Amino acid sequence: MSCESDLTQELRELGFRVTPQRRVILHILLHANGHLTPSEVFALAQESLPGLMETTVYRTLEFLVQTGLAQAAFGSNGKRAYEISDEHHHHLICRQCGKEIEIPHVQLDSLYASLEASTQFKLVHNHITFLGLCAECQ
């Protein structure tokens, strides 16, 4: 009974296959404390799964985002990073020193409501990176 079993269960119920590659990558994301880049995931995953291709890591991470099990973040540098988080949140990063703050999604609730009202769109689970200057760097 490993820690990612509920997620693999969810995959199976959605009609997707549970492969060793997906298991390992889910395990890594679940135990990471922050965002991981594809090459970080690859380096870690390769330890338990020699022969794993970096291509597969890219595809699996994007697959997990499509299914809603993982979230992608676009850092200030434009590079992608991934995480699994049960809290819908966003980020605010200081463009000068890189300090990062997490923004609970509840702070965007009224924005979302007004956007949905004015556009007729239904917003999905976004994971936004705001840039700014922290108190020290201003």
Partner DNA sequence: ATCCTTATTGCAAAAACTTGCAATAAGGAT
Partner DNA sequence: ATCCTTATTGCAAGTTTTTGCAATAAGGAT
Q: Which residues bind a second copy (CB under 8 A)?
A: 72, 74, 78, 80, 92, 94-95, 101, 103, 107-108, 110-111, 114-116, 118-124, 126, 128, 130-135, 138
Residue 97 interacts with which of Zn ion, a second copy, DNA, none, CB < 5 to 8 Å by class: Zn ion
Termini Cα distance of the chain: 50
Q: By rule CB under 5 A, what count of residues binds Zn ion? A: 6
What does the alpha-carbon distance between residue 135 and residue 123 come to, in Å, rounded to a whole number? 31
What does the alpha-carbon distance between residue 9 and residue 12 come to, in Å, rounded to a whole number? 5
Question: Is residue 39 a contact point for DNA (CB under 7 A)?
Answer: yes
What does the alpha-carbon distance between residue 16 and residue 21 come to, in Å, rounded to a whole number? 13
CB atoms within 10 A of CB 79: 11
Contacts with DNA, 58-97, as mask; x by CB under 7 A: xxx-xx-------------xxxx-----------------
Dihedrals φ, ψ of 27, to 5°? Answer: -55, -45
Dihedrals φ, ψ of 33, to 5°? Answer: -95, -15
Contacts with Zn ion, 67-106, as mask; x by CB under 5 A: ---------------------------x-xx-x-------
Binding site for DNA (CB under 7 A): 12, 16-22, 37-39, 49, 51-56, 58-60, 62-63, 77-80
